[in-house]
Amino acid sequence: MFTHTDPTLLSEASMLFAYPSCRGMPRWAIYTIFAAGALLILICCLCICVKCCCKGNKKKKKKKKDEKINLNGMNGKTTAALVQPDVTDVDYGTAKKERGKLLYSLDYSAAQSELTVGIKQANNLMAMDLGGTSDPYVKVYIIPDKIKTCETKVFRHTLNPVFNEQFNFPISKSTLLKSTVVMQVFDFNRFSKHNIIGELRVELSNVDWNHVIEEWKPLAEPAKFEEENLGEICFSLRYVPTAGKLTVVILEAKNLKSMDISGNSDPYVKVQLALDKRKWKKRKTSIKKNSLNPYYNESFTFDVSFDQIQRVNLVISVWDHDAMTRNDAMGKIFLGCDASGNQLRHWADMLSNPRRPIAQWHNLLSAEQVNSTLTLKKKIPLVSKMPF
Ligand SMILES: [Ca+2]
Ligand SMILES: [Ca+2]
């Protein structure tokens, strides 16, 4: 046996590295050479892999930055987000307490009995998505008489959005002094529930109406009690202008309210079209017995010409079927050029992406709230029943 200091061994080892095919090579040396070689190849492979991965990620990130939702009304200026789920749209946790701040304005016109709420900009919003950003928009309404809810545009991938939008609420002076303005900042997610970032509540009895109010306020933790959750519904919309076909696919609903004593409901979905605010056409899905999370995947196609599509409203409502008594409405929403917020966004995405199905989740609202915003007149008589 030899030791480390053995001079013959050292020279033998160096000979082996210089001439690996030397005869009489000790077994330990062969193993060492093989081991060293394998390690070298492994390190090279690892380096190549890491480099490839980094490149892929960079490309993805760049692509993400390029897509933005900028909804400037209905004049075709919209850019739709992808139908594929957004990897950044994953909840990120809300451990951090800093929610950011909001610049808003208030102005009341006694002559017109109208309150104007301005949503100017937000700063240092809390990041809700994986990429360390959010997709903020602001919802504005007045309580206790929640007549209408307004929403700003969505700004993608930013924590410092500049909204510069104004919303008018008709309200008498006496009601004004008993009311509170609620401004809630949300993070938009195409395929999951929108997360609330924070909110501001301004009691209007405390406001000095001799001046226009414009101020920055830190966002507070949202009050949980008020949100009435009626569940969510997912459907896709597709419009083919050349053929004049509108296709609505009712995909699924979740977290619906229980309407029956059993603690469940028997939900079905009504798909209704109105033309110039008059009831026009309607279809229904099948009834899913005893379910609060029904899956439908049922498709409905309507003839709607290009001239009509701008004058159409689509009303989607969820009903609980009852064998013995009247069916109850469980929730409702409407889309179209008269819609606002999330609903208008989906409709505009459909119009700006002809022939492509666009799917999206929506929070259901109470039937009363939708009916007060969209008042539909009597049904349009069928052509065959007309006297000419
Ligand atoms: Ca988001
Ligand atoms: Ca029922």
Q: Tally DSSP H helices, then E strands, for the chain.
A: 6, 16
Residue pair 343/363 in contact by the 8 Å Cβ criterion = no
Nearest-angstrom CA–CA distance, 16 and 28: 11
CA of residue 101 to ligand 1 center, whole Å: 18
Q: For 64-74, what is the mean pLDDT?
A: 38
User: DSSP secondary-structure letter at 80?
Assistant: P
CA of residue 189 to ligand 1 center, whole Å: 4
Tell me yes or no: is domain 232-381 CATH 2.60.40.150: yes
At residue 4, the pLDDT reads 44
CA of residue 132 to ligand 1 center, whole Å: 10
pLDDT digits (tens, 9 = 90+) for 5-41: 444 344 444 434 434 444 455 666 666 666 666 666 6
CA of residue 312 to ligand 1 center, whole Å: 30
CA of residue 197 to ligand 1 center, whole Å: 11
CA of residue 209 to ligand 1 center, whole Å: 36
CA atoms within 13 A on the CB side of 205: 6
Q: For 51-77, what is the mean pLDDT?
A: 40
pLDDT digits (tens, 9 = 90+) for 196-228: 899 999 989 888 888 889 999 999 988 754 556
CA of residue 328 to ligand 2 center, whole Å: 8
Nearest-angstrom CA–CA distance, 339 and 122: 25
pLDDT digits (tens, 9 = 90+) for 322-373: 888 888 889 999 999 888 888 999 999 999 999 999 999 998 988 877 887 7
Nearest-angstrom CA–CA distance, 284 and 327: 13
Nearest-angstrom CA–CA distance, 259 and 289: 12
At residue 324, the pLDDT reads 81
Residue pair 306/239 in contact by the 8 Å Cβ criterion = no
Residue pair 331/317 in contact by the 8 Å Cβ criterion = yes
Query: Which CATH architecture best describes the domain 101-218?
Result: Sandwich (2.60)
At residue 8, the pLDDT reads 39
CA of residue 265 to ligand 2 center, whole Å: 5
List Cα–Cα distances, 294 to 257, 261, 359, in angstroms.
12, 18, 17
Nearest-angstrom CA–CA distance, 63 and 80: 14
Residue pair 140/117 in contact by the 8 Å Cβ criterion = yes
Assign 230 a pLDDT band (cuts: 50, 70, 90): confident
Quote the mean pLDDT of the chain. 79
Peptide bond into 144 cis (omega under 30): yes
Q: Nearest ligand to the C-alpha of residue 263?
A: 2
352 sits in which H/E element: helix 341-352
Q: For 90-100, what is the mean pLDDT?
A: 59
The larger pLDDT score, comparing residue 284 to residue 4, is at 284
pLDDT digits (tens, 9 = 90+) for 127-180: 999 889 999 999 999 887 766 788 999 999 999 999 999 999 999 988 898 899
At residue 155, the pLDDT reads 95
Sorted by where each begins, the domain ranges of the chain are 9-56, 101-218, 232-381
CA of residue 301 to ligand 2 center, whole Å: 27
pTM for this predicted structure: 0.51
pLDDT digits (tens, 9 = 90+) for 233-286: 999 999 999 999 999 999 999 999 888 878 889 999 999 999 999 999 999 999
CA of residue 330 to ligand 2 center, whole Å: 11
**Same CATH fold assignment for domains 101-218 and 232-381:** yes
Residue pair 253/294 in contact by the 8 Å Cβ criterion = yes
Q: Nearest ligand to the C-alpha of residue 319?
A: 2
CA of residue 338 to ligand 2 center, whole Å: 32
pLDDT of 43 > 70? The answer is no
Task: Write out the DSSP string of 140-152.
Answer: EEEESS---EEE-
At residue 178, the pLDDT reads 86
